[in-house]
Amino acid sequence: MEFLNKTAISTGAASGMGLLFSQCWAEAGGNVIMCDVNEKVLAEKVSEINEKNGGRAVGVICDVRDYAQVVTACDRAVAEFGSIDILCNFAGGTAVRMLGVDPSLEFPDIPIDVFDWGIDVNLKGQFYFAHAALKQMRLQNSGLIINLGSITGEEGDGRGMDYPTAKSGVMYGLTKSLAKYGSRYNVRCVCISPGPVLTRPAMANMKTLEGRAAEPQEIIDLILFVASDKGQFINGTSLLIDGGRNAMGRA
């Protein structure tokens, strides 16, 4: 019960790491506001958490691209639980995959609104949530913002260019800037930047020095360590957790 009565906001919480974080946080006694656009799945996952012993979960339908919805989600956290102790910005993914773009199209042939979507979800979504949550974190004089980067923010991608553009912006400019501002109010900001993670079987095809992709639990364990008493000196940095992929060089 390490996080007993602490409040988390988890975005992209209907699936993958956002969901697993929410489950682990509640198991550790914390309460969680779970944000996603997938209304049906979110409701199911929230109920599953609330059927167990542990912290409470509340689902909020929230598109991270919409600042008004982001503010509503943060207000809901304060109304329900009285604080925002940790914000975890999981919502994201490559637009060409998530929007099902024809794989034969090259970068200049892919409609620009695909890239708008990718930059909005992966960069502006994390920026918006930090902006809204910091109002409460400043008031309470404490907090932790966890951004999600990616090995692709180091490597680039010759086609789905929104994703590395957004992720490297989050990993460096946004994370360092939020840590600088946050230090006035005891708020830390840390970016967790995974290599391939098995939230989808296809991620097993990405090479690493370890010869495998990460289990989602390995990423969540790192986040929980950063949030724990032992992780308090970690701030303003992007932690790569990539099985050594970054050391392999670029194709």
Q: Which residues of the shown chain bind ligand NAD in the complex (CB under 6 A)?
A: 11-12, 14-18, 35-38, 62-65, 90-93, 121, 148, 150, 194, 196-197, 199, 203
Compare residues 100 and 108 and give the one whose CB is closer to ligand NAD. Answer: 100
Q: Please, what is the minimum distance in Å from the beta carbon of residue 111 to ligand NAD?
A: 18
Q: Please, what is the minimum distance in Å from the beta carbon of residue 135 to ligand NAD?
A: 20
Q: Name the helix (H) or strand (E) containing 135.
A: helix 125-140
CA separation for the pair 241, 219 (Å, rounded): 7
Active site residue 128: no
- Active-site hit among 67, 163, 181, 185: 163
Q: Please, what is the minimum distance in Å from the beta carbon of residue 5 to ligand NAD?
A: 26
Q: Crossing angle, helix 67-81 and helix 125-140, to 10 degrees? A: 30
Are residues 121 and 165 in contact, defined by beta-carbon separation less than 8 angstroms?
no
Phi, psi angles (nearest 5°) of residue 186: 60, 35
Q: Please, what is the minimum distance in Å from the beta carbon of residue 13 to ligand NAD?
A: 7
Are residues 182 and 161 in contact, defined by beta-carbon separation less than 8 angstroms?
no
Are residues 99 and 152 in contact, defined by beta-carbon separation less than 8 angstroms?
no
Compare residues 4 and 204 and give the one whose CB is closer to ligand NAD. Answer: 204
Q: Name the residues annotated as catalytic.
A: 163
